[in-house]
Amino acid sequence: MQAAIEIMLYSQIHMKSPREFWPRWAESLRRYQLHELAASFLEAGSPLALLGAQALYFGRGFVQSDQLTALAETLEEDGEARAFASFLTQGGTDQ
């Protein structure tokens, strides 16, 4: 039990800020021309974003990934989701 707690604390301390992943996510969404659709969902669909965050947190038991955790944190916070939507629509200039 203590080892699991130590691993969890280590991963929280050494995990990047979710905003550090935004340029990579935005680039991928733009490559497939999905950035406007994603921004629309993030701006309008906060209940769906919260459900998506919960699904990603649940999935952490199967797939451990800093990016998935960062995405879940971004979706969970309404302000962060809207900030990422703005980041997508403004061409990736951080605010």
Q: Is residue 41 part of a domain?
A: yes
**In a domain? residue 56:** yes
Token pair listed for 56: 């990603």
Domain count, the chain: 1
d(CA 87, CA 57) in angstroms, rounded, equals: 23
pLDDT digits (tens, 9 = 90+) for 3-21: 545 455 445 555 689 999 9
Q: Is residue 2 part of a domain?
A: no
pLDDT tens digits for range 38-78: 999 998 877 888 899 999 999 988 988 999 999 999 999 99
Domain that residue 73 falls in: 21-89
Mean pLDDT computed over 19-45: 94
Instruction: Identify whether the C-beta of residue 35 lies closer than 8 Å to the C-beta of residue 26.
Output: yes
This prediction has a pTM of 0.76
The DSSP secondary structure of the chain, one letter per residue, reads: -HHHHHHHHHHHHHPPPGGGGHHHHHHHHHHTT-HHHHHHHHHH-HHHHHHHHHHHHHHTTT---HHHHHHHHHHHSHHHHHHHHHHHHTTS---
